[in-house]
Amino acid sequence: MSSIDGGDIRKLVVACDAGMGSSVMLAAQLRRELRKMPVIVEHHAIASIPSDADVVLCQAGLADRVRAGAPRSVVVGFRMFLGDPAVARVVAAVKQGGVVVGTTGG
């Protein structure tokens, strides 16, 4: 399992399987929440996750595919697009410090 200190996160990617729906809204929400932090928030399809992504957020069921496509990134799976504790932990680690731990399994 991989991890990263919240203060070391410079690029956060929200990855999706195909669409441009809820994951785009989550990326926009995270951009607003982290606008004062030195973090770039982007949205990408799983097939095009940039190699410099520090953390990749994705639906839990997609985590194995994301890990295969972004092996150097910390992958955090979530279950809900709004109000998910895993997403809240990443935001808190960026803002207040702490470690982001990648999730295992899908």
Which residues are designated catalytic?
A: 16
Q: What angle do CA 75, 69, 17 make, to 5 degrees?
A: 80
CA distances from residue 60 to 3, 32, 79 in whole angstroms, order as listed: 17, 23, 6
Cα separation of 90 and 12, whole Å?
10
Q: Measured between alpha carbons, how far is 31 from 29 in angstroms, rounded to an integer?
A: 5
Determine the Cα–Cα distance for residues 83 and 39; give it in Å rounded to an integer: 20
